[in-house]
Structure 1
Amino acid sequence: MRRHFKPDHTKPKDFDLFWQETLNKLDVIDPDPIVTATEHSPDHPELVLEYVTYLSLGGVRITGLLTHWHDNLPRPLVVYSHGYGCQCMPQWSWAETGLNCFGVDVRGFGRSHNALTAPSHWGWVLSGIGSPETSVIRGAVCDYIQGAYVAERILPNPTTHHTFHGVSFAGALALKSASVLGSPDLLAVGVPTFGWTEGRYIFVKSGSGAQINHYLANHPERLDDVMLVMRYFDPVNFADSVHCPALIGLGLKDEVVPAKTVYAI
């Protein structure tokens, strides 16, 4: 397999404008963070887990998990999310090394399940597939970005470095958020999904890509429209705007996120 691979350019002409306008819409929303519950580490009295809800794009309320040190020491912040169809877990072990961590359950999943009011019966990824403006993926990226804002806002201690982290579905969210925001200090992702829209249609055998393929098998006349919408969320089209150091992992044999779709990024 070729280790250096770049598919044909498919970036929509208004791609940058679309994301700038999306970020502008998000910027005017006061996240109104609310801590709904708190847990304490039995081993470290100053280490706490706070369940935080906040407002994101469209005025929906998202839930995040802030595992942090309740002190005045400057610390790095890691923002992360979850896999497709999953939810975040508290990252106690990361925090015990001295980090602050904020996990985002994006709309439609986990503790933010009810934030997606009209999920598609074809699968989460097909929700709002009629246009990039209505796509649930747009909202999910905004949930991640807003989570980074919220964590910075409510932490009691200053942040020294920002890392965006994620694996698979969350890896794609982290990469896209890093691009739209102008990059954190570090991007660390594994097998980021949604890469190379056209290639996914050919190579993916399960996961969100299989849901898209199943939908298109029943609606072949919508192929071009769906491919166009997904290009607005293809990590290939975000990668050139990530300017921080990046660590990206891939699986050489992966039916959910085939290696070719990661090499394309």
Structure 2
Amino acid sequence: MSIPAKHPFAFDPTYGYGLREFRALRPPPAPPEFGAFWRDRYREAISIDPEPCLSACEISHADWETHEITYRSTGGFRTSGWLIRPRHGKITRGLVVGHGYGGRGGPEFDIPVENTAILFPCARGISRSAHPSIPPDPARHVLCNITDPKSYVLGGCVDDLWLAVSALTELHPQIEGHIGYSGISFGGGIGALAIPWDPRILRGHLTVPTFGNMPLWLSLPTVGSGNSVQKFLETHEEIRSHLGFYDAAIAATRIDVPMLMAVACFDPAVAPPCQFSVANALPPSPDHETFILDAGHFEYSSMKEQHAALKARVRRFFEKL
């Protein structure tokens, strides 16, 4: 490992942990009715016809057909994003790709998959899915309806992911049984919350996932979205109990499909103990893989080489989809 020695933060982004301590982390206990909460939400979400609508896109690429897409989600929201499809070869797989809390300005063309239709949804309130009822910036977005677990915006973002799978399957029925998910940071946490309940998602890749181990997420200093929740908690202690329903590490204990987890040892935005709590929570399986990064949300000397190695792992991982 080559942990960054210099940084501008007022706290240590390793939180004093080494690999031994990271690997010992486990998720907190689940709240009562955790499974019922999410199973009921999933049933409601997939009862909706997403009615995907494709339109022309100004972004072009030599190897990919590019479309803008909108589809119906829960609560009357229409989710927007991009769909790319290979110009050559048959479509045999589907992949939904979540974004970080910075949003998304377009599709990614360097994801190492072939014969794959890739849907890049923008979570409700963010980027192309902007909505007047939801603040777009991370510090306020993460607080939207936080006092009500049923209407909390993160739950709606999970719904958007499930409906993305529905939209992708409606457009390409042949991919059924060959659908994966990939998400980073915010998208990693939302993915961990979504995957356990959706049997259509058969492989998942999460990079530096957030929302893991809420007792730590709500206490460790951070420059990420957790900071605004910690400040809100000072005058709204009642939210602590129901935030357990949005604990990505607790959700990960329910995941029963192969996962590729990329977690960082140094990260000022998503505390590494929270990331490792998600990765460590997966039920034991030879099909799970963990890739350890020196740092996340921060540039470092070996970043280019590590991300190239991770990309190669992603390629091999999704080839089995």
TM-score, normalization by structure 2: 0.73
Establish whether residue 18 from structure 1 lines up as the match of residue 33 from structure 2: no
For residues 36-75 of structure 1, the aligned pairs below 5 Å read 36-38=55-57, 41-44=60-63, 47-69=64-86, 73-75=90-92
Give distance in 1, aligned partners of 2:112 and 2:57: 15
User: Match of 2:25?
Assistant: 5
**Paired residue for 2:101?**
84
User: Closer, same or farther in 2 for the Cα pair 1:214/1:160, shift >3 Å?
Assistant: same
Aligned match for 1:31, one of 18, 38, 50 = 50
- Aligned pair count? 257
Q: SS of 1:175's equivalent?
A: helix
For 2:247, the aligned partner's letter is D
Q: Residue in 2 aligned with 1:110?
A: 127
Q: What is the correspondence of 1:213-224 to structure 2 with a 5 Å cutoff?
A: 213-217=230-234, 219=235, 222-223=236-237
In structure 1, the residue matched to 2:153 is 136
Q: Secondary structure at the match of 1:228?
A: helix
Deviation of residue 179 (structure 1)? Answer: 0.9
Distance 1:4 1:183 in 2: 31
- CA gap of 1:192–1:249, structure 2 versus 1, over 3 A, is same
- Cα 1:212–1:49, aligned 2, differ >3 Å: closer, same or farther? same
What is the CA-CA distance between 1:7 and the residue it aligns to?
A: 4.3
Q: Measure the CA separation in 2 of the matches of 1:107 and 1:68.
A: 23
1:198-209 mapped onto 2 (5 Å cutoff): 198-209=215-226
Q: 1:48 Cα shift? A: 0.9
Q: Say whether 1:257 aligns with 2:270.
A: yes
The match for 1:233 among 232, 242, 246 is 246
Structure 1 CA distance for aligned equivalents of residues 88 and 173 of structure 2: 7
Counterparts in 2 of 1:42 and 1:80: CA distance versus 1, 3 Å: closer
User: In the TM superposition, what is the alpha-carbon distance from 1:85 to its structure 2 partner?
Assistant: 3.3
What is the match of residue 175 of structure 1? Answer: 192
Higher alpha-carbon deviation: 69-78 or 130-139: 69-78
Shift in Å at residue 215 of structure 1?
1.8
CA distance in 2, matches of 1:88, 1:145: 21
Gaps of 5+ in 2: 1-17, 279-321
| Other structure's SS at 1:130 match | coil
Deviations 1:170-224 (A, max 9, x none): 011122221121362211111100001110122141111011112224x1xx22x
Distance 2:222 2:59 in 1: 42
Offset, 1:95: 7.2
Q: Which secondary structure does the structure 1 equivalent of 2:201 belong to?
A: coil
Identity of aligned residues (%): 24
Per mean C-alpha deviation after superposition, the further-off stretch among 206-215 and 89-98 is 89-98
TM-score (ref. length: structure 1): 0.88
In the alignment, the residues of structure 1 paired with residue 59 and residue 177 of structure 2 have an alpha-carbon distance, to the nearest angstrom, of 23
In structure 1, stretches of 5+ residues that fail to align are: none
1:123-174 deviations in Å (ceiling 9; x for gaps): 1111001111010000000001100110121138645622210110001112
Task: Give 1:98 shift.
Answer: 3.4
Shift of 1:238: 0.8
> Partner of 1:254: helix, strand, or coil?
coil
1: distance between equivalents of 2:127 and 2:47? 26
Contact 2:69 2:83 in 1 (8 A): yes
For 1:11-59, what per-residue CA distance to the aligned partner results, in whole angstroms no more than 9, with x for missing partners?
1111111112111221222212111324574524xx3111111110111
Contact 1:91–1:101 (8 Å) recurs in 2 = no
Question: Structure 1 residues 245, 120: closer, same or farther in 2, change over 3 A?
Answer: closer
Relative to structure 1, the CA distance from residue 194 to residue 183 in structure 2 (aligned partners, 3 Å threshold; closer, same or farther) is: farther
Aligned-pair RMSD on alpha carbons?
2.3
Residue 319 of structure 2 corresponds to which residue in structure 1?
none
| Distance in structure 1 (CA, Å) of the matches to 2:168 and 2:231 | 38
Report the AA paired with residue 141 of structure 1: V
* Structure 1, 99-108 or 138-147: larger mean CA deviation: 99-108
Q: Which range moved further: 80-89 or 141-150?
A: 80-89
Q: Is the 8 A contact 2:90 2:115 kept in 1?
A: no
- Please state whether the residue corresponding to 2:187 is helix, strand or coil: helix
**1:96 to partner: Cα distance:** 7.4
Name 2:261's counterpart in structure 1: 248
